[in-house]
A = this chain, B = another copy of it.
Amino acid sequence: MGTAPKRPTIKQIAEETGLSVTAVSYALRGERVSAATIARVQAVADELGYSADPVARALRGGRTGTIGLLVGSLADFWQQTLAHAVQRELRTHGLHVLLADADGDPAEELALAGRLAAQRVDGLLVAPIGPAGGDWAKLTERTPTVTIAGRLPGAELAGEVVFDQTAGVGEVLRHLHALGHRRIAVLSWAIAASPDRPTERAVREQAAALALDCEIVPCAYSLDGSRPLALEVLAREDRPTAIFCLSDSIAYGVLHGCRELGLSVPGDVSIVGFDDHPLSRLVDPPLTSVNWSIDRTARAAVGFLVDHLAGTRGEQRVVIAPTLSVRVSSGPAAG
């Protein structure tokens, strides 16, 4: 075909109007120049369908209108939902999302954040995998960062949305304890990559306090990751009477495994999830889980970033309290 129809530039508007690029640049942002000029420039800009080139702006050092979202693993259904909530929230502020998925690898996490920063995102939203990562200080010094449900070593933050994991773990463990469970398997996607997460620590401490026999088992995310593992754990001689999954996605896989083994839930084994995905009330049986309001989480995280970008507010912080939703999948310990 013909030559590529390039997007209109400020220079074209300058030629059309007989002004200089400088004048146009100012006019487009409604600065300095006369009202008449502004109107004229706007008219031409609209006619040409002009919009500022975000890349040129970025190179010059301005805002890009894009926020980086870095999640631990998109294989996790809850994090998919988080991505949606965040993207929806950002849109209300006219911002866009550059999405990156660390795919469960803490080492990858920092590298990806660097990529995002190199793309000149105006800010970074990070749902960290665990405290393993390297040196976040340099990166967060230049790019405003808000963490969601996790810590970044040495990072300078614009804000953080903290999940009270200790409370959440406590709710679940006490719930299971009250139902008579004593031997519990805890399935964690993070334990292999990042053994010392607060969540796993909380499990150990509180299990000890309640005199529970808790074994923490490393586990891949996702249905297909946890199902075979569940089959193995459940086939054991001294099978646990309850399985506490540190993510609903994992719990779904376990549910699947139970079905294959012909085990009744909660008759033979109780199952509890940990993030209350919207579908958890619809699965069979409805899954007992811990809810951390995803809307509040997304709104707070984005709000912190936007505040920081607007004026300069200091580091903001909110703690999201867990709510245990007791449904059908957890019941009295068998035998």
Contacts and interface: CB of A to CB of B under 8 A. Distances in A.
Contact of A99 (B4, B77, B99, B286): B99
A119 interface: yes
A127 interface: no
Contacts of A6: 142
Interface stretch (A20-28, A53-61, A181-189): A53-61
B83 A118 contact: no
Interface string A97-111: 111110100000000
A141 B216 CA distance: 54
A256 interface: yes
Contacts of A119: 54-55, 66
A59 B284 CA distance: 52
B282 A255 contact: yes
Contacts of A101: 84, 87-88, 91
Interface string A50-74: 0101111011000000100000001
A16 to B, nearest CB: 20
A141 B99 contact: no
B51 A118 contact: yes
Contacts of A103: 88, 91
A191 interface: no
- Place the interface of chain A in its size category: 35 or more
A83 B55 CA distance: 24
A311 interface: no
Interface string A244-270: 000000001001100000000000000
A106 to B, nearest CB: 16
Contacts of A77: 77, 80, 279
Interface in A127-142: 138, 141-142
A223 interface: yes
A18 interface: no
A233 interface: no
Nearest to A90: B101
B283 A4 contact: no
Contacts of A88: 74, 101, 103
B75 A80 contact: no
A137 B110 CA distance: 39
Contacts of A255: 282
Interface of A: 1, 4-7, 51, 53-56, 58-59, 66, 74-75, 77, 80-81, 83-84, 87-88, 91, 96-101, 103, 114-115, 118-120, 138, 141-142, 223, 252, 255-256, 278-279, 281-286
Given A77-B279, A96-B100, 4 more contacts: A96-B115, A223-B279, A284-B284, A284-B286
